[in-house]
Chains A and B, each alone.
Chain A
Amino acid sequence: MSGARIVAGYAVRECVRRRVFVVVLILTTVFLALYGWGAWAVFGSVTDFAGASDPVEAEVIAGSTIFGLAMFSILFLGAVLAVFLTLGAVRGDAERGLLQPLVVRPLGRTQMLLGRFMAAAGVCAAYVLVVYTLAMLITGAAGGWWPDRVLAPGLGLAGGVVVIAMVALLGSVYLSATANGIAVFMVFGAGLVAGLLGEIGQALSSDGLEDVASVAAWLLPFEALYQAGLAGLTADAGGFTDVAVQLGPFGGAESASPLLWPWAATYVLLLGMAARAGFARRDL
């Protein structure tokens, strides 16, 4: 484990030295500024047209909708970060000659993988939790709306990016950095499309489409974690408001099955074992 900690520290230090965090900070600040601007505009419009006799709670619909969009953006930014921190961890670094001097040291390949995963997962999970919290505060300040569940949606996003980091790490064992980056973003896109299909299936009452979305959500649990996070935003909504709220854009809110988190943890573990087995057999 100490070897993994050394590798994780090395990976995080690389991010600092290469100014990855500076770039991420600047882009995130821009995103949050635009989001804040949009949130104030949306709540201003809602206040203008909403009447006291409306059967729906306009602030809830407006707040949950724009915050749902923010959650999608945060998931996307977290996924980009996760992919770029891991896409060349094994084969990419081996092709550049960076990995060999480290692997011959007595720390073991498993420790090497674990260290890279700890760094990527830790950085990405912390990132999405921070941005999620800031976006929530902006939404609350702009319109006085707060999610029904504060912690669960953030944890869903954090879990989602951890899953994506592991998918990218597994890909890095078998694919070159560029091919891995493309592959992981296609997998990420497949999850989003499956969520969209689920929404369409719900709208059309198509059991087939809903089944496809459900299977895809289990195969790609980052999507299921994201959908469960969305469900937490309006968990206590009822009446017309509950009917009117359509969170998205890719994948509507779905309450988490009790098995979702255990499955996500098992999924990460299985992918980790596959990465370990592949790395152990790889000639460097």
Chain B
Amino acid sequence: MRAHSPLTSSHRPTRADCHAPLPTLGPVSAVLSSTGLHKTYGKATALAGVDLQVEAGELVGLLGPNGAGKSTLVKIACGLVRPSGGAVEVLGAPAGSLQARRGIGYLAELFRFPDWLSADELLELHQRLAESGGGAGERAELLEMVGLGDAGATKVGALSKGMQQRLGIAQALIGSPRLLMLDEPTSALDPVGRRTVRDLLSGLRERGVAVLLNSHLLSEVELVCDRVAIMLGGRIVQEGTPAALASARGVEVQTASGTRLFEDAGREDAPEIVADLVRGGESVYSVRVLASTLEDAYLEAVGEA
């Protein structure tokens, strides 16, 4: 039997069915559903009522300053941290339950792998723990996918930080998870590595895998995510597609009498604005459509603009 690929299967096999045809997935309303999620550490509040849904095949980016609660949210979804209130369901099961953990892949922000294991041995260990029947084929494919095809026999301790991060992504993909949660997966990667991860995430999305991406790299999130949630003080303060958040901010026209700003106008309004000005006797020298970036939206949302 051909080893199943993390990119060609959206079902995590168990020992019982690793030699059987993969079943068709039933409809799942939301792969991740968080409702009124609270978390406090003593007197400190990490999450103050977070509602978030991630659908199958959706790539959601979590943005926010340090201490906003992004990592706590991801850790609760993985079952590493217990919520103080509210509920999180993963694939229809309570977060942290055995059923939920069978369907997730996770890369922590601050992770470390045993330096005495080789890259291939590490993946093999995780295959056994995840009850994946993918075997050597799955391991080779994952290593190839993250650009570590030649590093299977290399000890983790001999890999650079960036290579370990790639290995961490491969580890998270063991057993074809239906929900992938990545906490700062590209922080140690060079531009080529980031591109590789972006392509990888796009490929996963096409195959119905949901991804929750926690990152400080706004450009990465803007390029790859379907939806963005900006967190501040344990709450989601802005949510929407990158395009919607980075909306048009007006049209700027240079005329003989000076620069004029049409604040509510967009790109499609520019010809009419110019025509009106010319009809009114103005000489128009230049027109610029002002569009905010995700960074502008982010800074505005977190109050630092």
Contacts and interface: CB of A to CB of B under 8 A. Distances in A.
From A18, A100, A104, A106, residue with most partner B Cβ within 10 Å: A104
A22 to B, nearest CB: 14
A101 B130 CA distance: 11
Interface string B78-92: 111110000000000
Interface in B66-101: 75, 78-82, 98, 101
B130 A97 contact: no
A103 B80 contact: yes
B129 A105 contact: yes
B171 A14 contact: no
Contact of A104 (B80, B112, B125): B80
B129 A283 contact: no
A33 interface: no
Contacts of B75: 283-284
Given A3-B129, A6-B128, A106-B130, A97 B80 contact: no
A30 to B, nearest CB: 26
B178 interface: no
Interface stretch (B103-111, B216-224, B238-246, B267-275): B103-111
A17 B129 contact: no
Contacts of A284: 75, 80-81
Contact of B102 (A17, A100, A106): A106
B98 A108 contact: yes
B126 interface: yes
A106 B13 CA distance: 12
9 contacts: A6-B129, A17-B117, A96-B112, A98-B114, A100-B108, A104-B78, A104-B106, A105-B130, A283-B41
Interface of A: 3, 6, 10, 14, 17-18, 96-98, 100-108, 281, 283-284
Interface of B: 41, 75, 78-82, 98, 101-102, 104, 106-108, 110-114, 116-117, 125-126, 128-131, 168, 171
